[in-house]
Every structure is written in structure tokens, then in C-alpha cells.
Amino acid sequence: MTPQRREFFWFLAIALLVLGAGIGLRAPWPADEPRFVLVAKQMWDSGDWLFPHRGHELYADKPPLYFWLLGAAYALVRDWTWAFLLPSLVAAMATLAMTYDLGRRLWSHRAGLWAAIAVLACVQFIYQAKRAQIDPTVVCFITLGVYGIARHVLLGPAWRWFWLGCFAAGLGVISKGVGFLALLALIPYALMRWRGWNGLADIGRGNALRWSAGALAFLAAIALWFVPMIVTATTSGDPEHQAYVNELLFKQTATRYTAAWHHTQPAWYFLEVIAAYWLPFSLALPWLFPRWRDAFRARDARVWLPLGWALLVLAFFSASPGKRDMYILPMLPMVALAAGPYLENVTASRWFRRALLALVIVLGVVFLGAGIAALHGDPSFESKIEAQRGLPPASDTLWWLLALTGAAVLAACAWWRRDALKGAAVALSILVVVLFSGTAVLLDDENSARAVMSRGHALAGDATLGLVAWKEQNLLQAQGPVEEFGFRKPVDAQLRAGIAWMLAAPDERRLFVQQDALGGCLLREHGQDVGTANRRTWWLFDASAVAPACRASTR
């Protein structure tokens, strides 16, 4: 094995350790994880892979490819606790590998390795890769799309890679809709070819059909799901299928982009995200800007095709009023790639190393200080976190975890104080592995709703639970028979339907109700407090708890 290959495999091993830590130690946590896993589980149980469901209702917020991947992971390991994080892990590892490989081919092994390290060092990348959300998968498909296009226009001609990139963009579309962004890489390529930039491949002329085949590959990937779905929706005669198509194709795409109804942010919001959520990679940006300026003056397409594409993605998401921090995550691999040939020199700077070490020391001090303060005092944050996460006030395990994590971070910085890069890498790896694994064990019962659902069924005995004002984690973690009365349906309508359902067979049915939805129809003194989960309190009621007026109205 060559030294270069050995370095890359060591990098992959470290990445697998950091990104894989905690898998199998927890169930899905809100906000998105229980919803996505529930949809995938219902697909698996029902065999309906075209139309996602959340409970009885169709779920039209997202296309289904990510749910198919969750189902494939479950088919592999047959345990949702292990399966639900595997697609994110595989997608993240593939993204790192593609970033390295493209950097290696464009410049050198070291440039590719530094580019991949920059991606792995980003807080946002690590956090998303350790969550069961669609974003890591979309980032992987978009990265593959740009990778394929770059292999063609910078290192080609390589028509098969170009077609694969277009196909990957289509897969991104049926994951979250924005996979088409990979194709924007053709815009800087066209401009650079027109202006005669350096570093472009000599593809030649007379290739109109081959270029057009890229569009066919893009549409073919989308058609894998869209064609059977639209045929079924138009021939089934089911109005819910038609409503699903309208919701997905219009409200969740065009309307969500042009007139977002939540997560509204100012135009400069993503600049704040880059500065804070891309740490510690973002510390290198002040040193990178002059080098990118010089590459622009030199008309270096190898640097500015990925960087120009990233700027187009930034402009695209900044133009929409609705913004969330993870939207620009697909930019990261290409920005890191454009930084790859310069990062070895940048990280050799004394001031960069001081800034990096200072950042890591501050993190260590914060964790150590918070743990000690909670162990030896009663700060407000301690009581708040314990109340929100269902931790007994007498338990100090979480605070010991924070204190020991902070101490380990500071110890690593002290041990490698003469090598800030190694010290920061070890310290941050310790922080991620210990913190994510420890909190997965300590907070899972509360965050996943596993404990409250177990108590609810224990109190109900053999009775069926009717869920009112439920969240996805309640249905996902339900043990035994359950019934639900709609998710998007107004809470008062759910409660009325639930009461009527319970009174129809009072000996065999109970209601499991969120406290905020009780209203006046259920008498709390006749109910049982089941406990809390995700900062919500849940109650169990039998038919004796229904107020007489409400009982009469259901007859």
C-alpha cells in the first residue's frame, strides 16, 4: 500500500469513527427523524412505496427516495434503531470520498485530502451526518452531480461521468427537490469556455446529442418514481392521490420557495451560517480570499468552476424568503474543494493555528465550566435542561459527561500544544464521539418518547390506545394496538373523534392525550398522568373521564 493510500484510509477510518459514533444507541429524535422513520416504516409495513403516509394521512412534504433508502437500510439490518442513521452515514462518507478524489485528480493527493478534511471539520456537516434527515443524502447526490460534470468538463472528455452526474441530480430531485442545483455547474463552465479560461478539457464540437443525453439521464432518474406515481394518481380515482400531487408539486416546491410561510430570514442569513456553522473551516476563509482572487485573475477553472457553482447556490437560496441553515450544506464540499490546494499553506500560518487552538480551548472551557457549575451549584440552565429532558434532579450523569468531555478537550490541547492541528483534531474528535454517544444513552427515553409510550401501554393494559394531539414519535414508539384520528386535523376535531371512538367500546379503549389538548370534555381528576416527553405532558383516560355534556353530544 502506498503512503498516499494509507493516509486516505486512515482519514476514512477516523471519519467513520467520528460520524458513526452513537449509531444503535438511540431511537429517532424530533424534529424530523421520527417523522421520516415513521413514513419509511409504514411504507415497509404496507408495501406502498409510491405514496408516503403519516398515520392514515398521505405525507406530501417530501419525495420518497430518502424513505426508500431507510427501507433498504432496514432490509439490511432488520432493526430500525440501527437502520435509521445508516443512509446519512453512507451519504456522508461518500461525500468525503468524492471530495478527496476530485481534489486528487485536479491537483494532488494532499489537496484532495485537505479538501476532505475541511468538509469533515465543519460543525454543520458532522451534525447533519449524525441525524436521520434528508440533507446528507441530498448533499451526496448533488456532490455526485457536480463531481460527474467536473470530471467531464475539467478532466474529460468523460461523457459517462457527465451522464452519471445528471442522473445523480435527478435522484436529488426525488429526494428533496433541489437536486437540480448540481446542473448549475454548467453555467460557470459555459461562461469560462466562452471567455477562454485555463484548465478546461478539450471536449470538441459536434456533441449536441451527447449533451442532450444528460437531460435525458436527469429526467430518467426523476421518472423512476414520478411516472408510476402520476399514472397511479390519475387512474386510481382516489381524490387523496390527486391532493397529494398538488401538494407536492406546487405548495411544497414553487410556493415554498417563492412565498415561504415559515423560517423567514434576511438575505444575508447564510453568511452568518457560514461564519458560525462552518467552523472551524470558516476560520480559514480570511486566508483563502486572496488566493481565490489570484486564481480568478489567472482564470483558473479548476478553482472557480466549483466556487462559482457554490456562489450560484448561495444566491439561489438567499433569494427565497424562507431559509434554514442546512439549505446551503451542498455548497460545502465544492467550497472545500476550491480551498484544497491552499489549505496546507493556510494551516501552516501561526495566526491560523492560534485562532484554531483558541476556538477549541474555549469549547473545552465552556463544557468543563458548565459541568462543574451544575455539579456544585444550581444554575438556571441546569434546572431548565433537566425539566425539558426528563432528567431526575438528583442525577448528575449529564453534568459529569459535560465536565469530563471539556476536561478531555483541554487535556488534548495541552498535550499537543506544540502541534495545534493535531491537538485540535484529537480534541474535536473526542468531543464529538463522547458527547454524541453519551447524550444518546442519557436522553433517549425522553427525546424519543419511548419511555412515555411504554408507561402509557403499561397503564392501559390490553386496551387499545387512541392518540390525540400526537406527534410522530408517539406513533413510532407505540407498543401494542393504537388508533389515531389524523395528524393535520385540528386538535378539537381529533378529541371529538377520539371520545366517540372510546365510548363505542369503553372496556377495550383508552385515550392518550397531550395535556394542551384536554379542553373541557375530559375530567383530569379521572385521568392518569403518564409523564413527559419532548417537553409535553401526556394523560391517559378511560370512558369515566368524559364529561356528561360531551358524552351526550357524541350519541
Residue 70 falls within a domain, yes or no? yes
Based on the fold, state whether residues 324 and 240 are members of the same structural domain: yes
Q: Are residues 108 and 231 in the same domain?
A: yes
Among the candidates 387, 411, 445, a domain finishes at 445
Among the ranges given (201-210, 333-342, 382-391, 513-522), the one the predictor scored with the smallest mean pLDDT: 382-391
CB 439 within 8 A of CB 483: no
Q: Is residue 22 part of a domain?
A: no
Residues 264 and 322 in one domain: yes
Residue-by-residue DSSP string for 495-542: HHHHHHHHHHSTTTEEEEEEGGG-TTTB-GGGSEEEEEETTEEEEEE-
Tell me whether strands 509-514 and 464-468 are parallel, antiparallel or unpaired.
parallel
Which one has a higher pLDDT value, 323 or 33?
Answer: 33
Give the integer Cα–Cα distance in Å for 30 and 70. 17
* Residue 21 covered by a domain: no
Is 24 part of any domain?
no
Instruction: Determine the structural domain holding residue 505 and report its residue range.
Output: 450-553
Q: 420-448 and 3-20 are packed helices; what angle lies between their axes, rounded to 10 degrees?
A: 30
Q: Which of 92, 544, 48 is nearest to 332 (CA)?
A: 92
Least confident of 236-240, 303-307, 344-348, 510-514: 236-240
Summarised one tens digit per residue, pLDDT across range 134-153 is 999 999 999 999 999 999 99
> What is the average per-residue pLDDT within 201-213?
90
Based on the fold, state whether residues 539 and 410 are members of the same structural domain: no
- The partner residues of 465 in beta bridges, in order of sequence, read 482, 510
Neighbours of 171 (CB within 10 A): 24
Whether residue 390 is predicted with pLDDT greater than 70 in this model: the reply is no
Query: What would the grid cell of residue 228 be?
Result: 408510476
Beta bridge partners of 509: 464
The reply to whether 2 falls in a domain is no
The answer to whether residue 261 scores a pLDDT higher than 60 is no
Q: Could you tell me if 364 and 343 lie in one domain?
A: no
The reply to whether 235 and 264 lie within a common domain is yes
- pLDDT bucket at 257, cuts 50 / 70 / 90: low
Query: Order of strands, edge to edge, in the sheet holding 509-514?
Result: 482-484, 464-468, 509-514, 536-541, 528-533
Alpha-carbon distance values, 273 to 1, 130, 268, 299, 436 (Å): 40, 19, 9, 29, 22
pLDDT at 383 over 60: yes
Q: Which residue has the higher pLDDT, 375 or 11?
A: 11
Number of domain units in the chain: 3
> How far is the C-alpha of 309 from the C-alpha of 187, rounded, in Å?
8
Q: Is the pLDDT of residue 250 over 80?
A: no
Question: Which residues have C-beta within 8 Å of that of residue 487, sequence separation ≥ 6?
Answer: 54, 55, 57, 470, 472
Q: Are residues 209 and 63 in the same domain?
A: yes
Band of the pLDDT at 389, cuts 50, 70, 90?
Answer: low
At 252 the pLDDT is 61
Domain-located, residue 4: no
pLDDT band at residue 61 under the 50/70/90 scheme:
confident
| Domain co-membership, 310 together with 433 | no
Q: How far does Cα 234 stand from its chain's mean position?
A: 32
pLDDT in tens, 184-198: 999 999 999 999 999
- Are residue 227 and residue 267 in the same domain, yes or no? yes
Report if residue 20 sits inside a domain.
Answer: no
Q: Residue 221: what pLDDT?
A: 97
pLDDT at position 529 is 93
Cβ(183)–Cβ(162) below 8 Å:
no
Cell numbers of 382, please? 441546569
User: What's the pLDDT score for residue 204?
Assistant: 82
Residue 396 confidence (pLDDT): 83
Coil, strand or helix: which one is 529?
Answer: strand
Please say which residue of 412, 445, 478 terminates a domain: 445
State whether 308 and 355 are in the same domain.
no
| Mean local confidence (pLDDT), 486-514 | 93
CA distances from 533 to 48, 453, 467 (A): 30, 9, 14
Q: What percent of the chain has pLDDT over 70?
A: 94
Please tell me the predicted confidence (pLDDT) of residue 192. 97
Same domain, 462 and 415: no
Strand-pair category, 509-514 with 482-484: unpaired
Boundary residue ending a domain (296, 320, 347): 347
**Quick one: pLDDT band at residue 249, thresholds 50, 70, 90?**
confident
Question: Contact, 54 vs 35, CB < 8 A?
Answer: yes
Alpha carbons 8 and 120: distance in angstroms, whole number: 13
Average pLDDT over residues 88-96: 98
Q: Are strands 536-541 and 528-533 parallel, antiparallel or unpaired?
A: antiparallel
Q: Kindly state whether residue 525 falls inside one of the protein's structural domains.
A: yes
DSSP class of 322? B
Contact 483, 499 (CB under 8 A): no
- 101 and 196 assigned to the same domain: yes
Inter-helix orientation angle 269-277/301-318, to 10°? 120
Look up residue 212 and give its amino acid: S
C-alpha cell at 371: 459541568
Q: Is the pLDDT of residue 284 over 90?
A: yes
Q: Mark residue 394 as left, alpha or beta (left: phi above 0; alpha: psi -120 to 50; beta: remaining).
A: alpha
Percentage, residues of the chain above pLDDT 90: 76
Q: Give pTM, 2 decimals.
A: 0.94
Q: Which DSSP helix (H) or strand (E) runs through 329?
A: none
